[in-house]
Amino acid sequence: MSFQALGLQSQLVDTVTALGFQSPTPVQQQAIPEVLAGHDIMAGAQTGTGKTAAFGLPLLHQLLDKPASLAEVAGRNEKSDIQIRALILTPTRELAQQVYDSIASYSENTQIKLAVAYGGTSMKTQVGAIRTGADILVATPGRLLDHAHVGTVDLSKVEYFVLDEADRMLDMGFIDDIKRIMRRMKASRQTLFFSATFSKQVKKLAHDILDEPKLIEVTPSNSAAVTVEQMVYPVDKHRKRELLSYLIGSRNWQQVLVFTKTKQGSDALAKELGLDGIKAVSINGDKSQGARQRALNDFKEGKARVLVATDVAARGLDIEQLEYVINFDMPFKAEDYVHRIGRTGRAGQTGHAISLMSIDEEWALRAVEELLDTRLPQQWLEGYEPDPNIELSDNNRRGRSAEKRRAKAKSKIHKNRGGRMR
C-alpha cells in the first residue's frame, strides 16, 4: 500500500515521502480514502499511530482540490474577519503547536496558509498571523473562543472540522466550549472525530456532531508497531523518589518521561531529582507557555534527562524514540495508563513502561489490568521491598486485606505474573 494508491495528490505524496513516510499507517490507510470521499469519520486509534497525517493529508488535498473562490479571496482584504476553511481543535497548547508543525511540514510545497492559536501567548501575534490569511487554523478551544468573540476569527465558512483527542477534551471540561464553537459553524461541513478511547460521553458527543460517520478502529496490535515491556515495582510511597533516582542512575536511563498525579508533585519531583544530580524538568498546567515549551525542548534535545509531567500536560506529545515511561503515581483513571505508555515504544522500537506502586494504589493497578484484560508482571527490587507493617488506613483500604499482604511479603518470591503486552 502506498500514499499514491490512497488517491492523494502527487505533491503531497512527494512531500511526505521526502519526510520519510514510506507507507501509510493503518489509521491513515483507512481514514484517508473515506475523508477524500467526503464522509464524516469517527476514528479510534491510540497515540503514535499517525493520526495527524490521517486527517492532515486528505484535508490539504481537498483544500488544494477546491480552492476558495476568487471573490472570497479578494474579499479577504476588505473584510476584517479572516474566513477559516478548516479548523482543527486540540485539547492542549503543546498539541496545537505539534499538529501545526506537522501540517506545516506536510503542506510545505503548497500555497496553503496555516495559523495556530492557543492560550498563554500573546493574542496579538496570533491575530497578525491569522489576519495575513489562514486556510487552516489549529487551536485550543478557549483561545479560539476568545478570538471569535473579538472578531479575529470567523468560523461561519468552516468546511472541515477536526476534533483531535476528543476524549481528552471532554476530560478537560471543554464540552461547553466545543458546543459554543459548533454554534458558530455552518451545519454543512465535514467533521473528523478522533479519540483514543470511547466512553459513553465521547460517543454522545460523536453522535451530536457527526453525520453518518464511517467508523474506523485501529487496534494497537496492528498499528505503528507498538512494543512496550511493562513492569510494576511495588514500593512504599515514601521511598519512590529514592527508587526512581536509583533506577535512572544505576541503569543509565537517558530519556525518561515520568508521570505524577498533581502539578505540585511534578515540580517537587523534578527539583528532588535535580538534587540527586539528575537533570529534570517538569511541565504542567500551572506553567507559562514559554516555560512549558522550554522544558519540552530541553528534554527533546537531551539537555534534561527526565521530564516530569501530569497527564493533561503530556497528552499526545510526540517525543521521538522515548525509551522509558515511569508511572511515579499510578494513574487515577485506567485509560490514562494507556495514554501514558503510548509515549514509548513508537515506530517499532521497544519501550519500557514502569510503574512504582504503593500499597494504597493497588486498586489502580487492578483497574488497569481489567481494562487491558491482562496481568502486568510485578517484581520486588532488592532493598526496596515494601514494608509489610505498613497498613492501609480504613478509608484507603480498597483492596487486599493486611493478612494476605503479610503472607505475600513473607513468601519473598519475586513474582512475574504475565508476559509483555504488544
Q: Which of 12, 13, 25, 115 binds ligand ADP (CB under 6 A)?
A: 25
Stretch of residues binding ligand ADP (CB under 6 A), selected from 17-25, 181-189, 234-242, 407-415: 17-25
Is 51 a binder of Mg ion (CB under 5 A)?
yes
Taking the complex as a whole, the smallest distance from the CB of residue 114 to ligand ADP amounts, in Å, to 16
Half-sphere exposure of 370 (CA within 13 A, CB side): 9
Closest among 199, 165, 163, 196 to 178, alpha carbons compared: 163
Is 195 a binder of ligand ADP (CB under 6 A)?
no
Taking the complex as a whole, the smallest distance from the CB of residue 312 to ligand ADP amounts, in Å, to 16
Is 345 a binder of ligand ADP (CB under 6 A)?
no
Residues 32-51 that bind ligand ADP (CB under 6 A): 45, 47-51
Residue 48 interaction partner, one of ligand ADP, Mg ion, none, beta carbon < 5-8 Å per kind: ligand ADP
Taking the complex as a whole, the smallest distance from the CB of residue 105 to ligand ADP amounts, in Å, to 8
Site string for Mg ion, 121-160 (x = CB under 5 A): ----------------------------------------
Is 292 a binder of Mg ion (CB under 5 A)?
no
Residues 109-148 that bind ligand ADP (CB under 6 A): none
Residues 304-333 that bind Mg ion (CB under 5 A): 316
Residue 25 interaction partner, one of Mg ion, ligand ADP, none, beta carbon < 5-8 Å per kind: ligand ADP
Task: Give the cell for residue 154.
Answer: 470567523
Kindly determine how many residues on this chain lie close enough to bind Mg ion according to the rule CB under 5 A. 2
Rounded-to-10 torsion of CA 362, 367, 412, 407: 70
Taking the complex as a whole, the smallest distance from the CB of residue 306 to ligand ADP amounts, in Å, to 21
Taking the complex as a whole, the smallest distance from the CB of residue 340 to Mg ion amounts, in Å, to 15
Q: Which of 6, 12, 15, 24 binds ligand ADP (CB under 6 A)?
A: 24
Q: Which of 52, 255, 260, 266 binds ligand ADP (CB under 6 A)?
A: 52
Taking the complex as a whole, the smallest distance from the CB of residue 95 to ligand ADP amounts, in Å, to 9
Is 310 a binder of ligand ADP (CB under 6 A)?
no
Kindly determine how many residues on this chain lie close enough to bind ligand ADP according to the rule CB under 6 A. 14
> In the complex with ligand ADP, which residue's Cβ is closer, 24 or 386?
24
Residues 220-259 that bind ligand ADP (CB under 6 A): none
Taking the complex as a whole, the smallest distance from the CB of residue 215 to Mg ion amounts, in Å, to 19
> In the complex with ligand ADP, which residue's Cβ is closer, 267 or 318?
318
SS (H, E, C) the chain: CCCHHHCCCHHHHHHHHHCCCCCCCHHHHHHHHHHHCCCCEEEECCCCCCHHHHHHHHHHHHHHHCCCCHHHHHHHHHCCCEECCEEEECCCHHHHHHHHHHHHHHCCCCCCCEEEECCCCCHHHHHHHHHCCCCEEEECHHHHHHHHHHCCEECCCCCEEEECCHHHHHHCCCHHHHHHHHHCCCCCCEEEEEECCCCHHHHHHHHHHCCCCEEEECCHHHCCCCEEEEEEEECCHHHHHHHHHHHHHHCCCCCEEEECCCHHHHHHHHHHHHHCCCCEEEECCCCCHHHHHHHHHHHHCCCCCEEEECHHHHCCCCCCCCCEEEECCCCCCHHHHHHHHCCCCCCCCEEEEEEEECHHHHHHHHHHHHHHCCCCCECCCCCCCCCCCCCCCHHHCCCCCHHHHHHHHHHCCCCCCCCCEC
CA distance to 34, 145, 219, per residue, from 167 (Å) = 22, 20, 17
Residue 49 interaction partner, one of Mg ion, ligand ADP, none, beta carbon < 5-8 Å per kind: ligand ADP
- Give residues in contact with Mg ion (CB under 5 A): 51, 316
- Give residues in contact with ligand ADP (CB under 6 A): 21, 24-25, 28, 45, 47-53, 316, 318
